Amino acid sequence: MLRRVDQVAKQVLEIVPEQSILHTQISQFIEDLWNQAPETLYSSYNWTKFTNVLNTYGLDDKFDQSLINQIHQIVAGSKS
């Protein structure tokens, strides 16, 4: 089942601490999607951009392993 990247990004945003750079970067990613055609929200192009944000800002020592695991579960679709 295909999922919209903006919906997944919003789910991740809900659990990331607001004061973190990851929260800021995900918010910016979501804002940048405002003028995308609906079908591109399912595209690998936008999914790659989102996973790059997660890999760049979300896998550092500032987050505990349980938060990282929750993010992985949301992105993988095993947690709604």
Which pTM value belongs to this model? 0.90
Cα 44 to chain center, whole Å? 14
Can you give the pLDDT of all 80 residues of the chain as single tens digits? 689 999 999 999 999 999 999 999 999 999 999 999 999 999 999 999 999 999 998 766 678 889 989 999 999 988 65
pLDDT on residue 1: 64
pLDDT on residue 57: 86
pLDDT on residue 65: 87
pLDDT on residue 2: 86
Burial class (CB in 10 A: 0-12, 13-18, 19+), 10: middle
CA 14/CA 10 separation, integer angstroms: 6
